[in-house]
Chain A
């Protein structure tokens, strides 16, 4: 009798403790979110003299870690550097860029927690995302496409509309929703990053990878047996992302991008990163105003 009581007490104590921990975490998160709201990004940037950018480390052509230097390199990284410099000129202060590697899944949380000031991270502008973050004007005209094995016979998304076909996507991208729209019978499997998706495609775990053409071109340059097919399913231009209600910061970034498009800096970066990609005419990406 005594023992049974003690045991029941132990169980109840365990449950209460678990609930207390969970509620505590919720509270902590609410507090963090609340405090973060009052922060103005541009003010913070001016005060610290630097802009902390989130960039990718696993995406060829946009943000890929150079194992020798430990620095990410790519179009996104160069854009972030150039925009930082330009904003510095605009506000008349010396600004330096600094970089934090973000994953597709973590980037928005990091913005919300003010661990980073902005993201240049192959991020498609969507209405859902725009409710939660502020986007700059588009800085790259991406669109969702397909990467398949050259001898697979798959020419377009219609060839994938079959229950026996699996399309590989990456967690946190909008690709899965679009595949459901264009090939509703196909299965989709989400993997952690593009390297895993590419390995899984090679292992036959799926018949295609679907994501932005810009990324697929990067994968195709490294894997000559594979090609980008089917044109673009959607228009999904990339924008730089910031925490919600950061109009002053976004205005500065938009102004900087406009200037870069006019003075040729933007086209230089396009040529630097997309000039050598097979199957892609980089002149299509140039801006002439």
Chain B
């Protein structure tokens, strides 16, 4: 416990960075993922291939490599810190998985919903936004929940590029205190502080939507 007290401010700083990176990446990947999911279900062949290539690229490359790419290569052109590089990589990587979840959600909605909306005079965009996506997200929530929890845990990638997150601070505390085990247990608990309420909230949302359906 003294390890915890002595390094409290360090852990808190790490926790803050992890939380911040998670929130940025969560919002960013949800927006990006939805855009690329929609691209994959349009009639335009170009949009479909762009969406498909994007998803395949970012889903099939290890997150560490994407992170290092931004930290070591892109940073030569556009200055960015490890935190920024890691958060961008986390956003892109997660967005590919979210695109797949949202796409599956969209495809599960019967075609009549889109036809009805288009025949009613709505544009493709309006129909997507008001009719299709709200229904698709409902279907996709369990899978999106998994992606979000993975995202929080995957944010530990920031440690590899000096991203000041929980894992980064944990590595330093572990190395300086020589008590690796206790340190990582504390770090693990901090992650639980984010992931447990998140899982719980998603379950709650699932129940609520089931009741409405």
- Does chain A bind chain B? yes
- Taking beta carbons and an 8 Å cutoff, which residues of A are in contact with B? 3, 7, 11, 14-15, 18, 22, 25-26, 29, 104-106, 108-109, 112, 128-129, 132-133, 168, 171-173, 176, 189-192, 196, 199-200, 202-205
The reply on B57 being an interface residue by CB < 8 A is no
**Residue of A109, A172, A203 touching B71 (CB-CB under 8 A):** A203
When the two chains form their complex, are residues A7 and B178 in contact, meaning their CB atoms are under 8 A apart? no
| Residues of A with C-beta under 8 A to B180 | 105-106, 108-109
Interface size on B, residues (CB 8 A): 31
When the two chains form their complex, are residues B79 and A204 in contact, meaning their CB atoms are under 8 A apart? yes
Most chain A beta-carbon neighbours within 10 Å: one of B81, B168, B178, B196: B178
When the two chains form their complex, are residues B175 and A105 in contact, meaning their CB atoms are under 8 A apart? yes
Task: Knowing A190-B171, A191-B160 are in contact, say whether A109-B72 is a contact too (CB < 8 A).
Answer: no
- List the one stretch of B47-55, B140-148, B181-189 in contact with chain A: B181-189
Residues of chain B in range 155-213 having any CB-CB distance to chain A below 8 Å = 159-162, 168, 171-172, 174-176, 178, 180-182, 185, 188-189, 192, 196, 200, 204, 207
When the two chains form their complex, are residues B82 and A11 in contact, meaning their CB atoms are under 8 A apart? no
When the two chains form their complex, are residues A203 and B185 in contact, meaning their CB atoms are under 8 A apart? no
Most chain B beta-carbon neighbours within 10 Å: one of A26, A168, A203: A203
Q: How far is the CB of A7 from chain B (nearest CB, A)?
A: 7
When the two chains form their complex, are residues A205 and B71 in contact, meaning their CB atoms are under 8 A apart? yes
Residues of chain B in range 124-160 having any CB-CB distance to chain A below 8 Å = 159-160
* CB<8 Å pairs between A and B, sample of 10: A22-B185, A104-B175, A132-B178, A171-B175, A172-B172, A172-B175, A189-B82, A192-B159, A192-B160, A205-B81
**Residue of B72, B175, B181, B196 touching A29 (CB-CB under 8 A):** B181
When the two chains form their complex, are residues A29 and B182 in contact, meaning their CB atoms are under 8 A apart? yes
Residues of chain B in range 61-108 having any CB-CB distance to chain A below 8 Å = 68, 71-73, 75-76, 79, 81-82
Q: How far is the CB of B44 from chain A (nearest CB, A)?
A: 37
| Residues of A with C-beta under 8 A to B159 | 192
Q: How far is the CB of A73 from chain B (nearest CB, A)?
A: 25
Give the 10 A-B CB pairs with smallest separation, nearest first. Answer: A172-B175, A189-B162, A109-B180, A203-B72, A108-B178, A171-B171, A132-B178, A29-B181, A105-B175, A199-B72
